[in-house]
Structure 1
């Protein structure tokens, strides 16, 4: 009979997911503050539109390149400390945004925000690996991953209220203070598995289906070794396409509705939130699909590949229709379907990290995947802006995004075949490590 979760493990799982979703929502609300306060910040600091573009990209580039050390940090320190430090760092960056007086001070604050937020999602993948059975990890991943779309959905009304009520500077400070409080709660409430006196039955439940692995912390050699596998590059390539499509819509949907569809500002605020509500549903359903496929006997790798690839291809098709249709209603429906599908793909991609990597490298591989994704995320607003600026229309920019999604889906399917094997004691010894390291 398969191992089952004890009431204590179920309680820890519920607490863990609650904290991860809450922190994820704060994560995405915090990164939206600059966009919401854009006109007031430009007026108060005397910045141009191009200056604001650089400020927006400062976060994305810092976030992308901080991914690589962030995952290794999480695997070495454990999720409890990493989540606490990350929350504290990005909340400090958020508060600094409320007291800046110049462009370059604001750039520094956005870089601190990006560096602090970098460990969050790789660490969430590690929590899925640590506290959930292999048959549960997809659903758990879908739940915490939906926080990205939920945070985007909530950001506009929440931040607008704070900004109108207290001013844009106080909006930054209030959100930063809330993050610091949450960081303290995470440290006091969350626990890593070694910090809990688990019974043999509980360990058997959590480790069922995992490859045997030592408890060594991730080493430089083990981290570097991940780049030698096709699976790692397939995950990087696939997630590039996934996050490119996400930021195509995140960065440009309001402008698209106003410029291409001639919506009023008020109508854009209402209609523009609808696709992200569908993204929340897609994030949850994507993880659920993964677990259903595993329970039906499909191996863990393919159970992630199928929804990821199908979701990306369908996203591309819906995006092309949205680009070409003259109907506003059909365009909004297709964009909603696109965000639903791209979040299905995102949840499946993050669920891959919990089965494709050795247990002690889960966050490391997840951060490599996220690095590739946010290179795409940083490029999407820039490439779209160049195309729209040159053509005066969004249709070619949407079709370009769709083509990138198709190529990413093909690379994901072809390159990812098998999970990455754990580092053997002989490999560790050859790298100059003792068995205790």
Structure 2
């Protein structure tokens, strides 16, 4: 008995291989956001250097999402077939090279191609990262691991804004892309030489850690023996999948519109300096880092009514964007953008709690990739459409802000159509009822 207690204490207190895996995965996500988001700070300078219209600048932001959406589901399939280690290491080296190449391009058409191919590389990350977590973490800790990883969604844009502004101010916009590509290459090589797809092959895995995974595997195996699998084809016939996909599409119209054009708005409309723009563009995402974790936690507390966490917070976030547009002072603009970010990211945390809790576990990767793919399509549409609207209105951001407000409210309205009781089919022969 005493020996068992001591063993449990050692297991709790000892650093585990899976923590290292999670930290490296977190770094991968961080640099994926840094590499994709620095262009939002550099955009006014790229536009001036290459003599681009607002529409052309918007397309430059959107073209990344064309590649990202196109290859996201195939990227996940590659991870299933060849293992997350190979796919992730190749992907991060791939997109890091094209990040650096962005700073060496002097032709607009060639830059569009580079950003598109850059998006193809990043598309492999989500599926590979979630597979890595599933391989190394027991099921009881996968939600927490995924939540920690998701903090990059807010920290990435925040750090990108500050780092990009500092580097651009000192060395110019081209240097920021060249520099940002270097860390990813190092991380990719580290993953290739140090990670293993199967935890059993990792030289630093302890017996205790392997025992946790094996015990978890036996439980999952027993569950699978009680039920047959649900096919992805069957899931495509479920209304709930398309409800969630549409919610995420409209939510991401607002998110990517806000993220992509906020720096330009602060510089061109509010007259902020480059460094102030970097700092104030980062603030909403720093606020969001707290609220996205809180949103997931709160939705767990009201499990069965997750949509009622998403709906009001999405609406409040949209209204704060409207107040931001109408604000008369810079201080109020900064205040309202932080309020908008707090409620938007809180809603986002609750939404993904709904997705994970609703989709069948057997095809979670395919189902969640489908939902996320709709967000990537929104990421392609929003920056380009807003750039076009800004150009057509003579530089006014009014119509683009109204678009963001309308989109997030539409997302909330669609969420209202989700039934409180959703049939979550875990098999073809049996089904359980969960509340949304």
TM-score normalized by the length of structure 2: 0.79
Question: Residue 382 of structure 2 is aligned with which of 377, 380, 383?
Answer: 380
Q: Say whether residues 1:397 and 2:400 are aligned partners.
A: yes
| Alignment CA distance shift 1:110-1:9 (3 Å) | farther
Q: Is 2:241 the counterpart of 1:253? A: no
8 Å contact from structure 1 (residues 93, 113) kept in 2: yes
Cα distance in 2 for partners of 1:311, 1:207 equals 40
State the alpha-carbon separation in 1 of the partners of residues 389 and 50 from structure 2. Answer: 29
Residues 258, 404 of structure 2: 8 Å contact kept: no
Are positions 1:240 and 2:244 aligned together? no
Deviation at 1:179, TM superposition (A): 0.8
Asked if structure 2 preserves the Cα contact closer than 8 Å seen for 1:75 and 1:361, the reply is no
Deviations 1:399-426 (A, max 9, x none): 332222122123234347546535659x
Alignment of 1:8-407 (within 5 A): 11-38=16-43, 41=46, 50-132=55-137, 136-163=141-168, 168-192=173-197, 195=200, 201-205=212-216, 212-213=223-224, 222-293=231-302, 298-299=303-304, 302-303=305-306, 305-391=307-393, 393-407=396-410
Residues in 1 aligned to 2:223 and 2:14: alpha-carbon distance in whole angstroms: 21
Q: Deviations over 1:83-120 (max 9, x none)?
A: 22321221232233244343332222111110111132
- Post-superposition Cα deviations, 1:201-238, rounded to whole Å, max 9, x if no partner, equal 54445787999337xxx9xx934443222222122112
Contact 1:70–1:364 (Cα < 8 Å) also in 2: no
Structure 1 gaps of 5+ residues are: 426-437
* Matched position secondary structure for 2:316: helix
**Structure-2 separation of matches of 1:210 and 1:419:** 23
Q: In 2, distance between residues paired with 1:276 and 1:19?
A: 21
RMSD: 3.8
Distance 2:342 2:356 in 1: 22
In structure 1, how many angstroms separate the alpha carbons of the residues matched to 2:54 and 2:392? 17
Single out whichever of 172-181 and 383-392 deviates more from structure 2. Answer: 383-392
- After superposition, the Cα gap between the structure-2 partners of 1:135 and 1:321, relative to the gap in structure 1 and judged at 3 Å, is farther
Paired residues of 2:103 and 2:175 also in contact (CA < 8 A):
yes
Is the 8 Å Cα contact of residues 126 and 354 (structure 1) preserved in structure 2?
no
Change (3 A) 1:314 1:108: same
Q: Secondary structure at the match of 1:178?
A: helix
The DSSP-based 3-state class of the residue aligned with 2:223 is coil
Return closer, same or farther for 1:207/1:288 CA change in 2, 3 Å cut-off.
farther
Distance change >3 Å, CA 132–CA 321, structure 1 → 2: farther
Relative to structure 1, is the Cα distance of residues 362 and 189 closer, same or farther in structure 2, using a 3 angstrom cutoff? Answer: farther
Maintained 8 Å contact 1:240/1:376: yes
* Structure 2 counterpart of 1:435: none
Partner in structure 2 of residue 421 of structure 1: 425
**Partners of 1:258 and 1:264 within 8 A in 2:** yes
Q: Relative to 1, partners in 2 of residues 1:281 and 1:10: Cα closer, same or farther, differing over 3 Å?
A: same
Q: 1:327, CA displacement in angstroms?
A: 4.8
How many residues are aligned here? 413
Equivalent in the alignment of 1:433: none
Assess if the C-alpha contact under 8 Å between 2:324 and 2:336 holds in 1: yes
